[in-house]
């Protein structure tokens, strides 16, 4: 067994995904000695997919965290800006719905693997050891003892002053807490969606260009289900099909090549000609489930904290899971400033108290947004509301829509964004219903009402 010294300096980070790698980097910058353990091989040399979802939407909260470790500029070099949702109807008509009325607000498509590789390179450059092919199989949350199995099935033990469980939604570190759940009064819930997802693709065109517009997140909203597409640097698109498992238009009933062809011809006729590998990909690529995981406490013992998806996995419809996991590191960094070096017990306690409400808020917002993306984007009242929001954002620097509060106001906690955003939505929808259209609404009057709402809710931006 490798014993590390006992001054709070030696930290084990289990899971070198996006959150764990960023966290280790920050800890090193603060003077700790982090060690990363990752069950997968090194994605920079092994031919593996980085796991779930090939590309992700990176926005302000994630960029702020990357900035904290000095990597935001580097990350930006591998992003593609997406200015809005480009909506495809069944006839192939397109409508752009911008994310914001401010021209400089956009989200970024980024490859999960490339981003993780940037983090690995930076971690190694700082001298952080990354032990790949080391799967954590058990942990003692109080002593900091960890047991790993390497790729040859050898068992290796480690002991650290502090352990971070950054091992994602299926966290083994969290499972250890569940084993002593009555002692910890450990609450846990896992809520599956009725929908799953399958990844498909649109390749580059013959002249190596994008086949569809690259500056938007494409959505094919179909009320009870949808398909989305995010651009990649190699001019391809990663397409994600979100369908219910059951029912006529569910994964369970779209099985044969004839089913797939019929289904795509019916619902996504404009996308189909761009998807030459559709049948093969549909058959070969897995159908994966989606869900929300909530648990508490995240401090699962004297020496252990859950962080990122291990603490709070959410559905992907706000494009915030990674951004939120990165923001955990920003919040932790701030909390650590209030305590002595290595005072992990108090740091973990304070972190979970401050952060839990915001993780819950983004989990709720992400569930709301599924309905918005697949259904409401096509609703005329919703479209008028977005029109009004764009007008207000474009003209008045003080106003932020709910989407902008969550996505572009990185200093506003998610819980405040939820509270203000939902109240604003309610007010605007009510006005649109009363007046019939955005153009009939007195701009200054509604702006005043929106500002009054902010005062009433005691939220400053
Ligand atoms: C379809 C889909 C689309 C998404 N789109 C977006 C998006 O657009 N924007 C966004 O912000 N978020 C998005 N997300 C969410 C995002 O992927 C996660 O929130 C993010 O990956 C969480 O990072 P993490 O490091 O906490 O966990 P993970 O990325 O899951 O990393 C955990 C790491 O731990 C390792 N590990 C697991 N078990 C062990 C073990 N026992 N021992 C050692 N290592 C272990 C894993 O191999 C992995 O490397 C999406 C998710 C899905 C499913």
For ligand 1, whether the C-beta of 144 sits within 6 Å is no
How many domains are contained in the chain?
3
Query: From CA 372, how far away is CA 161, in angstroms rounded?
Result: 45
ipTM over 0.85: yes
Instruction: Indicate the residue among 370, 399, 423 that finishes a domain.
Output: 370
Domain identity same for 304 and 424:
no
For ligand 1, whether the C-beta of 82 sits within 6 Å is no
CA of 253 to the centre of ligand 1 (A): 29
DSSP assignment of 91-135, as one string? T--EEEEES-SSTT--EEEEEHHHHHHHHHHHHHHTT--EETT-E
Number of C-beta neighbours around residue 347 at 10 A: 22
For ligand 1, whether the C-beta of 323 sits within 6 Å is yes
Domain identity same for 115 and 163:
yes
**What atom in ligand 1 is closest to the CA of residue 15?**
34
Which of 325, 329, 332, when mutated, tests ligand 1's pocket best, judged by the most ligand atoms within 8 Å of its CB? 325
Query: From CA 229, how far away is CA 235, in angstroms rounded?
Result: 12
Domain identity same for 8 and 101:
yes
Query: From CA 313, how far away is CA 320, in angstroms rounded?
Result: 10
pLDDT at 2: 46
Instruction: Indicate the residue among 288, 317, 338 that finishes a domain.
Output: 288
For ligand 1, whether the C-beta of 69 sits within 6 Å is no
For ligand 1, whether the C-beta of 328 sits within 6 Å is no
pLDDT at 1: 46
- Which of 331, 320, 338, 11 shows the shortest CA–CA distance to 163? 11
Domain identity same for 300 and 181:
yes
Domain identity same for 183 and 74:
yes
- Which of 254, 262, 321 shows the shortest CA–CA distance to 292? 321
Domain identity same for 184 and 168:
yes
For ligand 1, whether the C-beta of 201 sits within 6 Å is no
For ligand 1, whether the C-beta of 20 sits within 6 Å is yes
What value, to the nearest 5°, has the Cα angle with vertex 13 and ends 7 and 15?
170
Domain-embedded: residue 461: no
Q: Both tokens of residue 164?
A: 């971070």
As a dihedral over the C-alpha atoms of residue 182, residue 324, residue 346, residue 10, rounded to 10 degrees, the angle is 100
Q: Both tokens of residue 413?
A: 């906690």
Please report which helix (H) or strand (E) contains residue 375, including its range: none
- 442 three-class SS: coil
Query: From CA 346, how far away is CA 145, in angstroms rounded?
Result: 20
Residues 6+ apart with CB under 8 A from 366: 292, 314, 315, 316, 317, 318, 320, 321
Domain identity same for 73 and 139:
yes
CA of 446 to the centre of ligand 1 (A): 41
**What atom in ligand 1 is closest to the CA of residue 148?**
42
**What atom in ligand 1 is closest to the CA of residue 309?**
26
As a dihedral over the C-alpha atoms of residue 111, residue 116, residue 117, residue 121, rounded to 10 degrees, the angle is 150
Query: Which ranges of the chain have pLDDT less than 50?
Result: 1-5, 50-51
Longest dimension (CA), the chain: 72
Domain identity same for 54 and 171:
yes
Strand partners of residue 146:
139, 158
- Which of 192, 196, 226 shows the shortest CA–CA distance to 85? 226
Instruction: Indicate the residue among 370, 393, 422 that finishes a domain.
Output: 370
Query: From CA 166, how far away is CA 271, in angstroms rounded?
Result: 37
Number of C-beta neighbours around residue 48 at 10 A: 11
The length of the chain is 461
For ligand 1, whether the C-beta of 50 sits within 6 Å is no
Tell me which residue range forms the domain holding 391: 379-456
Domain identity same for 322 and 271:
no
- Which of 242, 153, 238 shows the shortest CA–CA distance to 204? 238
Q: Both tokens of residue 322?
A: 């990674």
For ligand 1, whether the C-beta of 195 sits within 6 Å is no
- Contact between 166 and 328 under an 8 Å Cβ cutoff? The reply is no
CA 341, 299, 117, 413 dihedral sign is: negative
Query: From CA 287, how far away is CA 192, in angstroms rounded?
Result: 14
CA of 85 to the centre of ligand 1 (A): 24
**What atom in ligand 1 is closest to the CA of residue 62?**
11
The CATH number linked to 73 is: 3.50.50.60
Domain identity same for 8 and 90:
yes
CA of 121 to the centre of ligand 1 (A): 18
Which of 14, 37, 51, 52, when mutated, tests ligand 1's pocket best, judged by the most ligand atoms within 8 Å of its CB? 52
CA of 309 to the centre of ligand 1 (A): 6
For ligand 1, whether the C-beta of 319 sits within 6 Å is yes
Domain identity same for 200 and 156:
no
Which of 13, 14, 15, when mutated, tests ligand 1's pocket best, judged by the most ligand atoms within 8 Å of its CB? 15
- Contact between 391 and 239 under an 8 Å Cβ cutoff? The reply is no
- Which of 352, 447, 353 shows the shortest CA–CA distance to 394? 447
For ligand 1, whether the C-beta of 295 sits within 6 Å is no
**What atom in ligand 1 is closest to the CA of residue 322?**
11
Give the orientation angle of helix 344-374 with respect to helix 414-435, to 10 degrees: 20
The CATH number linked to 255 is: 3.30.9.30
Please give the radius of gyration of the chain, using alpha carbons only, rounded to the nearest integer: 23
- Contact between 59 and 107 under an 8 Å Cβ cutoff? The reply is yes
For ligand 1, whether the C-beta of 450 sits within 6 Å is no
- Contact between 177 and 232 under an 8 Å Cβ cutoff? The reply is no
Domain-embedded: residue 360: yes
- Contact between 109 and 55 under an 8 Å Cβ cutoff? The reply is yes
* Tens digits of residue pLDDT in 357-380: 999 999 999 999 888 888 777 788
Domain-embedded: residue 140: yes
Domain identity same for 386 and 422:
yes
For ligand 1, whether the C-beta of 159 sits within 6 Å is no
- Which of 147, 119, 153 shows the shortest CA–CA distance to 43? 119
pLDDT at 351: 98
Query: From CA 115, how far away is CA 129, in angstroms rounded?
Result: 18
- Contact between 168 and 310 under an 8 Å Cβ cutoff? The reply is yes
């Amino acid at each position: 067994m490798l014993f590390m010294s006992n001054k709070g300096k030696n930290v084990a980070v289990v899971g070198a995904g996006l959150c764990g790698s960023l966290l280790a980097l920050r800890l090193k910058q603060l003077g700790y000695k982090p060690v990363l353990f990752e069950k997968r091989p090194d994605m920079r040399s092994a031919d593996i997919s980085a796991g779930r979802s090939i590309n992700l939407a990176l926005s302000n909260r994630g960029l702020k965290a990357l900035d904290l470790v000095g990597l935001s500029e580097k990350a930006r070099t591998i992003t593609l800006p997406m200015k809005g949702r480009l909506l495809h109807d069944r006839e192939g008509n397109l409508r752009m719905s911008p994310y914001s009325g401010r021209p400089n607000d956009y989200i970024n498509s980024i490859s999960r693997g490339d981003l993780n590789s940037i983090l690995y390179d930076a971690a190694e450059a700082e001298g952080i050891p990354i032990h790949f092919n080391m799967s954590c199989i058990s942990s003692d949350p109080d002593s900091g003892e960890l047991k790993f199995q390497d790729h040859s099935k050898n068992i290796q033990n480690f002991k650290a002053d502090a352990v971070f469980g950054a091992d994602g939604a299926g966290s083994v570190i969290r499972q250890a807490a569940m084993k002593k759940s009555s002692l910890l009064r450990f609450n846990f819930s896992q809520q599956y969606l009725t929908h799953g997802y399958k990844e498909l693709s649109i390749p580059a065109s013959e002249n190596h260009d994008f086949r569809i517009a690259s500056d938007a997140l494409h959505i094919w909203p179909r009320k009870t289900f949808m398909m989305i597409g995010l651009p990649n640097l190699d001019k391809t698109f990663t397409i994600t099909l979100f369908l219910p498992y059951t029912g006529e238009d569910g994964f369970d009933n779209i099985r044969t090549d004839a089913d797939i062809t019929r289904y795509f011809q019916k619902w996504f006729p404009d996308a189909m000609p761009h998807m030459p590998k559709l049948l093969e990909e549909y058959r070969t690529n897995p159908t994966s489930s989606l869900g929300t995981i909530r648990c508490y406490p995240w401090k699962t013992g004297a020496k252990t904290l859950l962080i990122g998806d291990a603490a709070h996995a959410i559905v992907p419809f706000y494009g915030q899971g990674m951004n939120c996991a990165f923001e955990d590191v920003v919040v932790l960094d701030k909390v650590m400033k209030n305590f002595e070096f290595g005072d992990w017990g108090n740091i973990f306690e304070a972190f979970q108290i401050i952060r839990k409400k915001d993780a819950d808020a983004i989990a709720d917002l992400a569930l709301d947004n599924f309905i918005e993306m697949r259904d409401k984007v096509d609703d005329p009242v919703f479209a008028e509301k977005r029109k009004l929001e764009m007008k207000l954002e474009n003209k008045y620097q003080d106003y932020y829509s709910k989407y902008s509060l969550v996505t572009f106001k990185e200093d506003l906690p998610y819980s405040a964004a939820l509270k203000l955003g939902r109240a604003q939505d309610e007010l605007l929808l009510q006005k649109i219903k009363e007046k019939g259209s955005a153009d009939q609404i007195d701009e200054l009057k509604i702006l005043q009402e929106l500002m009054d709402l902010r005062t009433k809710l005691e939220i400053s931006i």
